[in-house]
Chains A and B, each alone.
Chain A
Amino acid sequence: MMANPGLKLPPPFEEAIAPYERELMRFMVRMTGNHDDATELFQEMCLRAYKAYPRLEDFSEIRAWLYRIATNLGRNRARDNARRSRVIVDAGASYREPASDQIGAQQDVAAVRTLIEALPEKQRQALTMRKLGGLEYDQIAAALGCSIEGARANVSQALKKLKAEWSQL
């Protein structure tokens, strides 16, 4: 079948998000600290993204756009959880940190996680996207709806704060 040279259609939704599924899932496991919540959140993200997909016009932005949806959903979920004052289950229960032969490494990891969870919302998200999602600053900015400088500042301040609090432990 001869393709029309002039016709430019957006890729089907599944095809469009396929390259980012794995990193998004990784991001969600980080964000929720829990496998069940991550798969749940992933589904919510797909549903919401599919509904909004017709309104996405610039396809070069799709990665940041997906992270933005994921971040917003994660934020809503965190807020709802806080409202229900649900006891946060120990994140380590369902998520196994990589084995380390260093004694004390496990405690270190758990401690850092606690510190990250205590960070201000925006800093925590920026840090997670940068360090665990591996996003560029302009993509973080697009996802968080702030400037590139703002994204950079959030990440560096989060790191600084983490290190400062670590030394106080």
Chain B
Amino acid sequence: MSPQHPVERYFSNSDIPDETLDHLLREARQKLEPRMRVIRRSEAAVGITKSPYGPLLIAVGPAGLLMVHYLNTQSMQRGIAMLRLKFDPIEDAQAAEQIGDQIRRFAAGERDALEYKSDLSLVTGDFQRRALQRLMEVPFGAVITYHALAATIGAPSAQRAVGNAMATNPIPIYVPCHRVVRSDGIIGHYGGGTQCKVELLRTEGFAIGQNLRLPAQAVCGHRVTHIFCRPDCSAARRANPDKTLIFATAESARHAGLRACKLCHPQ
């Protein structure tokens, strides 16, 4: 009997030399290169930054800011998994710091601090995209109700769907989903936690108390006539609530380009 069965010998004997493999790999990589270029995802710079709202996971793509992810309330893994579906993440602490710096200035009350361009590439649904785009028109110091935001995108009874769209907003703070509140005046939930929403709204001038309600002294602004009133003004009561924004102060309404009502003279 031979020391080794031919079958065993086949497996031990017939190794392919490394040079051959390397040659084949070079050849394959060369042909692969142009094919990969077609399907390659864009890179996104990813980092963590500290903010008054807790640590944030930040992702910046070639066309703008892609993601602000609250790490206090949401898992980092989920954020990265969501990002990876469309982008190849690259660690870049500097890019995250740049965004973090803007957010910290914003939290300190600088209303134009959030100047980085937003990129809604991580938004998957058309409805959500429309809701978020409309939301970006709500100015600093103002809030809109879920119902009214639904009405602006032509779906006046879709307030629940708008709520879901806000809950999965990839770029909170920049796309200001904290400016969406319940019709009954309670501020509602927030992805970064309710306390975070309170802080953000206080930054914008709303004196939110323990009851989590909008303050009574807020003024109502009409999105179409660009006039703002006291909430008890007869004109304000007749106005369509779907066309109304609630401003923290007369000052913030003026800043957004509205003029005061000549009937109730809001201050």
Contact = CB atoms under 8 A, between A and B. Distances in A.
Interface residues of A, number: 45
A39 B7 contact: no
B93 A3 contact: yes
Nearest to A115: B7
A151 interface: no
A21 interface: yes
Contacts of A97: 14
A7 B10 contact: no
B80 interface: yes
Interface stretch (A47-55, A66-74, A82-90, A140-148): A47-55
A126 interface: no
A112 B10 contact: yes
A43 B94 contact: no
Interface in B197-233: none
A25 B25 contact: yes
B90 A38 contact: no
B36 A47 contact: yes
Interface string A25-47: 11001000001001100110011
A22 B90 contact: no
B24 A100 contact: no
Given A108-B10, A112-B6, A54 B85 contact: yes
Contacts of A39: 24, 27-28, 31
Contacts of B91: 3-4, 7, 9
A42 B10 contact: no
B115 to A, nearest CB: 24
B21 to A, nearest CB: 5
A161 to B, nearest CB: 10
Contacts of A111: 6
Dominant secondary structure at the B interface: helix
A7 B6 CA distance: 53
Interface residues of B, number: 41
A108 B9 contact: yes
Contacts of B89: 9-10
A78 interface: no
B172 interface: no
Contact of B93 (A1, A132, A159): A1
- Count chain A CB atoms within 10 A of each CB in B14, B47, B76 and give the residue with the most: B14
A46 B85 CA distance: 17
10 contacts: A7-B47, A7-B48, A25-B21, A39-B31, A42-B24, A43-B28, A43-B35, A50-B40, A54-B84, A57-B81
Given A43-B28, A97-B14, 11 more contacts: A3-B93, A4-B91, A9-B90, A25-B28, A46-B32, A47-B32, A57-B77, A95-B16, A98-B13, A98-B14, A108-B6
8 interchain residue pairs of minimum CB distance = A54-B84, A112-B10, A39-B28, A42-B28, A131-B11, A108-B6, A4-B48, A43-B32
Interface of B: 5-7, 9-11, 13-16, 18, 21-22, 24-25, 27-28, 31-32, 35-36, 39-40, 46-48, 55, 57, 71, 76-77, 80-81, 84-85, 88-91, 93-94
